[in-house]
Amino acid sequence: MKALVTGGAGFIGSHLVDKLVEQGVDVVVVDDLSMGSVDNIKSRDSVTIHIEDVCNEKFMQELLQKEKFDYIYFLAAVASVADSIERPSETHEINHSAVLNTLEYIRTEKLPLKQFLFTSSAAVYGNLPELPKKENSRVDPLSPYAIDKYATERYVLAYGELYDLPTVCVRFFNVYGPGQNPSSPYSGVLSILTDCLENDKTFTLYGDGSQTRDFVYIEDVIQALWLITVQNARHQVFNIANGYESTLNNIIQTYEKVAGRKLTIDFAKGRTGEVERSVANISRLIGLGYSTNWSMERGLTKYWEGVQHEAS
């Protein structure tokens, strides 16, 4: 079995690559290292890594033709809502056009394929009042990021139905854990919080901290992705989350307790285009055999212990 993981040097991608290698899959990574790092991939010696832009159509087509992948996991993206607001057009090329071009090439060349998995986001749900979010809840994408994710999902599913391709989409909620890069102001909040607690830096809190998110630990996410592959799921969307709603204030308190440290906080105006409340209904995923193993406290404890271990 051969798999392509775009964005495989990133946070979620690198954990997925390690899981696939552990399962005996031959893995090829395409990543331009704009956010990721080859060092994130523990199994890097067993993996073929191309440092390339997924928007390079010629490169992608030659790779697809040469390798005839069984599985394609499309994770390469501008992964930040705020970043997409700064550079909407570039985001669109990566988060939408590159995916569509890949599918179109597979369709026109009739390449064999067992599964094409596209990674979408809870951001598509926006601020509509219905909670928890089900896969068939109404959507209200508020940012270039969310608009591209939703449009791409629709294409991926339509290509599946119209051209009988084995496509599937996931909507990650807020994933956290080791390997998330904290270096950009647009990085995931838990990587920034970790960096602030670890290095005694001031944390900027946008808004009053009452915004909520459904934080899911990386190991549960990898469990879910693997289940979707082995169960051969297709033509559907799956929420991947923990199923619990936490305020940012609550996360900060829990993390301070876990780390045994006090965070210094600067309050700033809330970010525009943001979702206020987010929590998932995960029944569809549970139907595939998923169970959450990582409560917020347990996940944060493992994350923090790992950071401490690396520092020592």
Binding region for ligand UD1 (CB under 6 A): 79-81, 121-123, 172-174, 186-189, 192, 204-206, 211, 213, 248, 271, 274, 278
Among 53, 57, 70, 195, binds ligand NAD (CB under 6 A): 53
**Residue 116 phi, psi dihedral angles, 5° rounding:** -120, 115
| Residues 6 or more apart in contact with residue 265 via CB below 8 angstroms | 202, 203, 204, 205, 252
8/188 with CB nearer ligand UD1: 188
Q: Does 32 bind ligand NAD (CB under 6 A)?
A: yes
* Distance (Å, whole) CA 118 – CA 104: 14
Tokens of 67: 């390798």
Tell me, yes or no, if 73 is annotated catalytic.
Answer: no
In the bound state with ligand UD1, the residue whose beta carbon lies nearer, of 20 and 75, is 75
Q: What is the spatial distance between Cα 110 and Cα 209, in angstroms, rounded to a whole number?
A: 49
Residue nearest to ligand UD1 (CB): 121
Least separation in angstroms between residue 8's CB and ligand NAD is 7
Task: Establish if 18 lies at the interface with ligand NAD (CB under 6 A).
Answer: no
The single residue among 84, 174, 212, 229 that binds ligand NAD, judged by CB under 6 A, is: 174
**Out of 145, 176, 255, 303, which one is annotated catalytic?**
145
188 near ligand NAD (CB under 6 A): yes
Binding partner of residue 126 among ligand NAD, ligand UD1, none, CB under 5 to 8 Å per kind?
Answer: none
Q: Decide if residue 70 touches ligand NAD (CB under 6 A).
A: no
d(CA 241, CA 69): 28
CB 16 within 8 A of CB 8: yes
Q: What residues numbered 76-105 form the site for ligand NAD, per CB under 6 A?
A: 76-77, 79, 94
* Residue 213 contact partner, candidates ligand UD1, ligand NAD, none, CB within 5 to 8 A by sort of partner: ligand UD1
Report the site for ligand NAD in 118-137 (rule: CB under 6 A).
Answer: 119, 121
Cβ 123 to ligand NAD shortest distance, Å: 7
47 near ligand NAD, judged by CB under 6 A: no
Binding residues for ligand NAD, rule: CB under 6 A, are: 7, 9-13, 30-36, 53-55, 75-77, 79, 94, 119, 121, 172, 174-175, 181, 188
